[in-house]
Amino acid sequence: MAGKDAREQDSIPTSKAERSTQFVKTGLKIGGNYVKHYSKKLFNPDLSRDELNEDNATDIYESLSKLKGSALKVAQMLSMDKNILPKAYINQFSKSQYNAPPLSGPLIVQTFRKFYGKTPEQVFDTFNIRSTNAASIGQVHEATLNRKWLAVKIQYPGVGDSITSDLKLIKPFAFRLLGMSEKELDIYMKEVEERLLEETDYELEVRRSVEFSQACANLQNIIFPTYYPELSSKRTITMDWLEGMHLKEYLQTNPSQEDRNRIGQALWDFYNFQQHELRAVHADPHPGNFLVTPDGKLGIIDFGCIKVLPDDFYYPFFSLTSSGFLDDREKTLRAFRELEMVQPNDTPAQVDFYYEMYCQMIGLFAKPYSTGIFDFTGTEFFEDIYRYGEMIARMPEFKQARGVKHFIYINRTNFGLYNILHELKATVRTDTFVADLALQH
């Protein structure tokens, strides 16, 4: 075995006290960064916050990387919401998508013994103690068994048991970064907690992975690994190894426009088939969850985060994206009320205000759905969305929580999809799977 990776962790804080101490240390570092910033500002009143943001983002990411788990997962989620955070945070937090510091070999063996009662070498013919990818919840190792090339995903120790306490600890950081109201942040954190509790249950993930890969088996240019429940546990997953490049690596090969479009179309179909045919969707569209195989197919390698779309959300939400719907004020307001975007105690003036603002917002969001073909190459569409997001973030009318909790992951899913298609510079057909609103009441 070669020398140890300098970034590897030999231990991970698992107790509530240890993890709390790590947050306190980070808070002290951030306090020091602010003192340094304002000291410099005394001598240079025009000093920007760029250096402060860079220092804070680095310190927060380093701390969350040591903790792993839900705290790092929230950072990963925020890195995808590119209109929420300063660029320094986006650059740091996006590392958690597939490049977090891995755990050392001895710690992996210790974790393995806990769930299998054996060492990795006693379960598999070969097992590479060095991880190939490390993210927020777990890391992946190569293995072989009976001439099969396998990927073994191992969850970090303590991650599944510390979600609730971690989210309480990260709340002050999130409150400062996101600028949400207390009520809105509580709704956000509760929904995140529910999804993370599911995401750390690897037995549930294996069942969902089998179910979703079978349901999506007929989609073109998409491939899924085979999963092995008998070689998996509550904190480990064994599946076939898929050969391929992550999207970032793939784009560095300068693929042709035809190839970009093919991968983009596969991605669009994968998401919209789930939303409209399964009424449940893979709600973690970050680049680390996808591979492009040597034969040009899209490999889906993670089904940890699934968001179910109940009827009372699906019908009003997708009605708003259907052609001409927003032209009917009465129908639109009914949908807004069902989705709690317009609320019972709003005055007539407030109803008019939110009606206008949300119609503009949905008009922007639904642009890809409003034409049969959409080119995600240009920046204008995204600049319009970010500009609008920044505008409403400054408006006092949007400081209070609005909208049902399902928006959190569905907006994240669709904007995440849009962003990946933008990075691919893909042109896709958007009418391959469309909302079935026939049963709407």
Query: Average pLDDT of 242-265?
Result: 95
CB distance 12 to 156 below 8 Å = yes
Percent of the residues in the chain that have a pLDDT greater than 90, as a whole number: 41
Q: Which string of DSSP letters, residue by residue, matches 125-184?
A: SEE-SS-SEE-SSEEEEEEEETTEEEEEEEEPTTTTTSHHHHHHHHHHHHHHHH---HHH
Q: Looking at 241-311, which runs of residues are DSSP E strands?
A: 245-246, 280-282, 290-292, 298-300, 306-308
pTM: 0.76
- Estimate to the nearest angstrom the gap between the alpha carbon of 103 and the chain centroid: 22
Highest mean pLDDT: which range of 43-52, 190-199, 201-210: 201-210
Quick: pLDDT tens for 129-183: 988 877 777 889 999 999 999 999 998 877 777 777 777 766 666 656 555 566 7
What pLDDT, on the 0 to 100 scale, is given for residue 272?
Answer: 93
DSSP 104: P
- Distant-in-sequence, close-in-space partners of 422: CB < 8 Å, separation ≥ 6: 376, 377, 379, 382
d(CA 339, CA 332): 11
pLDDT band, residue 2 (cuts 50/70/90): very low
Q: Spell out the residues 6+ positions from residue 222 whose beta carbon is closer than 8 angstroms to its own.
A: 216, 266, 269, 270, 297, 298, 299, 300
Minimal CA–CA distance to 97: which of 111, 112, 80, 82? 80
pLDDT, mean over the chain: 81
pLDDT category of residue 111 using cuts at 50, 70 and 90: confident
Read off φ and ψ for residue 227, nearest 5 degrees.
-105, 150
If you search the block for the tokens 């240390």, which residue do you land on? 25
Cα(342)–Cα(334) distance, integer angstroms: 9
- Confidence at 61, pLDDT banded by 50, 70, 90: low
Percent of the chain with pLDDT over 70: 72
